Structure 1
Amino acid sequence: MSAAAPPFPSADDGQSAQSPGPPSGARKQREALLAAQLYYLQDLTMDAIARELRTSRSTVSRLLAFARETGLVQIQIWNPLESSAELESAITERYGVRAHVVPHASNLNEAETRDRVAMYAARTLTPLVTSNSVVGVAWGSTLTSMSRYLNRKATHGSTVVQLNGAANTQTMGLGYASEIMRRFASAYDAAVEEFPVPAFFDRAETKRLMWQERSVRRVLDVQERMSVAVFGVGSLHSDIPSHVYTGGYLDAADLRSLARERVVGDVATVFFREDGSASGIALNDRSTGPEHGLIRSVEHRFCVVSGPSKARARRGALNARLVTVLIVDESTARSLLALEA
């Protein structure tokens, strides 16, 4: 729901009626939806809504806040002086994705920009997650930030499944990946399917044998039922190196191999070149991330990246057709389009 609206109410506004007590469950959702419709679409005042619902003005304020937090209301601001819409249209036309360009102040550093993009992405994801969804989540720095801003949305029968293993020679990686999965699951009342395998096996043959194990096969089967896949894009050339390149997952020989094979980035530890190709990249044979064919079969492929230094990696992911929804900051959007010039 998008509409011009009067200024947001404050929870500290005075009361115009005695409240019968806070609503709960389905009743609260119904009342929040009604309050939002009256406030944003019919321009009723807080006092008028309170009288209609026979409650207090402060309760109406809380219902409107609940409507925004749970995605019943999504606020959009259109500024004719901004170029974000033009950038979104250009990316959509070039790559066939639904692009969201996040504006930001020019004085923000890359970490601060990533945080802004992560917040926007968390709120944009909410409508895509419904009851009985299977949401695949890759670990990484961007997804860590995004997981902190997820809006609460009650669903039933939903599952959050980890897309790639997190262990390496230095750590099992369980705490790092588990915290991301836990936050996603908590936001959507979902069950969690963790993937307790290494990010990369030492030998491709080990992976082939492990993929036949019933315990591993069960998680792979859940991945194959994904309706939403959420991931960032790792980059070899980012000003802030992606976690897979700094967390002890790759040794010097691996990095030389990736450079030799002209790799620019990865999605869930499966690597690709700038043209989107992945064939002949030896490390992919040992990776526990989902093959690109599986990602491409998912209805909603939700990609979140920030930082102009990741433009080539972003372009590779788009050329590989791994993305249907793209969340990107304005500087990165410009850098991405500049590659096409």
Structure 2
Amino acid sequence: MDAEAPRDGKLEQALKAAQLYYMQDRTMEAIARELGTSRSSVSRLLSHARETGLVDIRITSPLERGGFLEQRVRERFHVAAHVVPVPSSVSEVDRLERVAMTAARLFAQFVDSNMVVGVAWGSTLTAVSRYLPQKETHGTTVVQLNGAGNTQTTGVDYSSEVLQRFGDAFGAKLQQFPVPAFFDDPATREAMWRERSTRRVLDVQGRMDLALFSLGSPSAEVPSRVYVGGYLDRDDYRSLTEDRVIGDVATVFFRADGTWRDVRLNARATGPDLDRLRRVPRRVCVVAGAHKLASLRAALAAGLVTDVVLDETLAERLVETL
């Protein structure tokens, strides 16, 4: 059994193994002999190279339907679409996990040093956070987009766990937003927004270079956390129905036509208003499942998204509506 190499030595060996394997078509046995190690160690080095971003594997096929779907979405909505091939027979939970895995790898390519990165929370972002590769950056800040507290919990443990994974992946400074997801009274939010400690977080959000979020939908088979986590009561649901809401971004609700300003619950929400979100240069939306079609279509039409990661079935449904 090989002794564990020092961290820098392991990185150097992983790079060497990757160059030999992917660039020179050497076998693992040949690489093992050259590096003076075992075949199993070479396998681990290659896995380490992929996980740390030394190697970025892409599969491109002119016959792949995903490419056609990406082109159709780009032409119609003027966004970069990343379609994840997922068989229609898989469960919604597995579908979400596969989309999240692709989104995590893609998102890491967008993150760079000295960026302010806004991250929402929810079922989808929790899944994405589990698959983030390591990418060391400098001077990067990850800021929470919306509060997570409700009458049952402060939400700090949950939201900070998601945020921490992003911070650990990119070596970034974290900026939490320790406020409720929804205030009981709009006047309370207005007063809180005048506090210096809150304004500091809002100022960080105002400097975002990159934002990552999903779309909430009350009809999804994998329910959005805001709809099942004790954040809304019966009166809230009635209000959303009366206001014809079909989804939300970071707990800010919108209708099928993309309008949101006069949705009553938004006066109590803590997520960034959609005008502010549209000012972020790159806005990455991760969404899985055909039940998200209506909310995705509205978000795209409203110009909330610059990049979308979605499963093949959802992409097909989206282009069918064109």
TM-score normalised by the chain length of structure 2: 0.91
- Alignment deviations for residues 6-33 of structure 1 (CA, whole Å, 9 cap, x no partner): xxxxxx9xxxxxx8973534x6556644
Q: 1:84 to 1:172 in 2, by over 3 A?
A: same
- Alignment deviations for residues 204-227 of structure 1 (CA, whole Å, 9 cap, x no partner): 221111111111111111112222
The letter for the 2-side match of 1:187 is A
How far did residue 196 of structure 1 move? Answer: 0.7
- Alignment deviations for residues 166-199 of structure 1 (CA, whole Å, 9 cap, x no partner): 1112221122211111111111222221111011
CA contact (8 A) 1:274 1:319 kept: no
Q: Pairwise CA RMSD of aligned residues?
A: 2.3
Match of 2:134 among 152, 164, 175: 152
Pairing 1:257–2:228 present: no
- Alignment deviations for residues 146-179 of structure 1 (CA, whole Å, 9 cap, x no partner): 1111112222222221110011122211222111
Pairing 1:24–2:7 present: yes
For residue 201 of structure 1, give the secondary structure of its aligned residue in structure 2.
coil
CA contact (8 A) 1:69 1:152 kept: yes
Find the counterpart in structure 2 of residue 167 from structure 1: 149
How far did residue 39 of structure 1 move? Answer: 3.2
CA contact (8 A) 1:20 1:55 kept: no
The letter for the 1-side match of 2:137 is T
Higher mean displacement: 235-244 or 191-200: 235-244
Rounded Cα–Cα distance in structure 2 between residues aligned with 1:225 and 1:55: 49
**How many percent identity over aligned positions?**
55
Matches within 5 A, 1:312-323: 312-323=294-305
Rounded Cα–Cα distance in structure 2 between residues aligned with 1:211 and 1:193: 16
Find the counterpart in structure 2 of residue 88 from structure 1: 70
Q: 1:55 to 1:320 in 2, by over 3 A?
A: farther
For residue 276 of structure 1, give the secondary structure of its aligned residue in structure 2.
coil
Find the counterpart in structure 2 of residue 7 from structure 1: none
Find the counterpart in structure 2 of residue 182 from structure 1: 164
Pairing 1:107–2:62 present: no
How far did residue 44 of structure 1 move? Answer: 4.1
TM-score normalised by the chain length of structure 1: 0.86
Rounded Cα–Cα distance in structure 1 between residues aligned with 2:52 and 2:204: 26
Rounded Cα–Cα distance in structure 2 between residues aligned with 1:37 and 1:274: 50
Matches within 5 A, 1:34-183: 35-46=17-28, 56=37, 58=39, 60-183=42-165
For residue 308 of structure 2, give the secondary structure of its aligned residue in structure 1.
strand
Unaligned runs of 5+ in 2: none
Q: 1:257 to 1:20 in 2, by over 3 A?
A: closer
For residue 304 of structure 1, give the secondary structure of its aligned residue in structure 2.
strand
For residue 104 of structure 2, give the secondary structure of its aligned residue in structure 1.
helix
Rounded Cα–Cα distance in structure 2 between residues aligned with 1:46 and 1:188: 30
How far did residue 338 of structure 1 move? Answer: 2.3
Find the counterpart in structure 2 of residue 221 from structure 1: 203
The letter for the 1-side match of 2:268 is R
How far did residue 273 of structure 1 move? Answer: 1.5
Rounded Cα–Cα distance in structure 2 between residues aligned with 1:205 and 1:147: 34
Matches within 5 A, 1:4-19: none
Rounded Cα–Cα distance in structure 2 between residues aligned with 1:234 and 1:327: 15
Find the counterpart in structure 1 of residue 307 from structure 2: 325
How far did residue 45 of structure 1 move? Answer: 4.4
Q: 1:241 to 1:47 in 2, by over 3 A?
A: closer
User: How many residues in Structure 1 have an aligned counterpart in Structure 2?
Assistant: 321
Rounded Cα–Cα distance in structure 2 between residues aligned with 1:267 and 1:33: 40
Rounded Cα–Cα distance in structure 2 between residues aligned with 1:221 and 1:29: 38
Find the counterpart in structure 2 of residue 246 from structure 1: 228
Find the counterpart in structure 2 of residue 308 from structure 1: 290
Q: 1:173 to 1:41 in 2, by over 3 A?
A: same
The letter for the 2-side match of 1:24 is R
For residue 166 of structure 1, give the secondary structure of its aligned residue in structure 2.
coil
The letter for the 1-side match of 2:232 is L
